[in-house]
Structure 1
């Protein structure tokens, strides 16, 4: 099976100040393999690398980052087949997360798993979203 790693181009406004993180931590933003696009977990980072305080803005940033990866791959949210979201303090943050999620997802909805966790890579992160999309035949 052939796999192809996605590289974020220098002109991507969404990843402007955070492109180097992929290289620094040694992972690809997404990998295409077997007709699927595996998108690495996206967190609530603004393009300049700062972290918003609210769950709503972090969720919006994470979805915007996912949307940009899909766009760069010729896909959109309708091509998602699976999403896994990781939540710090899930009971407190779920309402804000769900209010933003509604703006990005559409029927038919992808499979979705929501996982409560103790912490993410940085203490300020409240959400991380990992996705899988299918390329159209």
Structure 2
């Protein structure tokens, strides 16, 4: 696909048929030399997706994408365990929701949890909450297991959040 006109920052371009889960993006130059097209693709989240639709406004507001495909990899933004109604539950509920959101993004991209190659989870009060998290994690991880780093942090983006999970998956050759 060849881009023939400048685009607004992070504006998505529909691909013929528009049924594809990804959109090709470019960025405006803001007075600089236009950036070279790199083949980066942003995952489209359907507006009626029960698991992720409540986050669509946040992507634009905070200037990030839910997932980006670059080459043969899918980079998934940090997923938190906030309920669609905005509520925040227990550590187990937060872990469950964050992992369900990750699985849903993978599903939208045509992948599964088995395609994860790296996962990083951030934990507030790690010593208190790790056991509860690990019980949930065990239900979602499948062989071959991804590389996984578990990092203790002071705080996350919103009060009450205890877990955030970001991931990288690989597309089949």
Q: TM-score, length-normalised on structure 1?
A: 0.96
Contact persistence 1:16–1:48 (CA under 8 A)? no
In structure 1, what is the Cα distance between the partners aligned to 2:121 and 2:55? 21
In structure 1, what is the Cα distance between the partners aligned to 2:85 and 2:45? 15
Q: Which residue of 2 aligns with 1:96?
A: 132
Please identify runs of 4+ aligned residues in structure 1 that moved more than 3 A: none
2:114 pairs, out of 78, 93, 105, with 78
Indicate the structure whose relative CO is greater, using CA pairs within 8 Å and at least 6 residues apart: 1
Q: Deviations over 1:63-122 (max 9, x none)?
A: 011011001000010000000000000000000100000110011100000100000000
Q: Which residue of 2 aligns with 1:31?
A: 68
1:130 shift after superposition: 0.4
Q: Which residue of 1 aligns with 2:141?
A: 105
Q: TM-score, length-normalised on structure 2?
A: 0.76
Report the count of equivalent residues: 136
SS at match of 1:49: coil
Decide which moves more: 40-49 or 87-96: 40-49
Superposed CA RMSD? 0.9
Consecutive unaligned residues of structure 2, counting only runs of 5 or more, are: 1-37
Larger Rg over CA atoms: 2
Decide which moves more: 112-121 or 40-49: 40-49
Where is the helix percentage greater, Structure 1 or Structure 2?
1
Decide which moves more: 93-102 or 3-12: 3-12
In structure 1, what is the Cα distance between the partners aligned to 2:139 and 2:47? 27
In structure 1, what is the Cα distance between the partners aligned to 2:162 and 2:49? 24
The 5 Å alignment of 1:1-137 reads 1-52=38-89, 54-137=90-173
Q: Deviations over 1:13-60 (max 9, x none)?
A: 1013222111111100000001000000000111223221x1000000
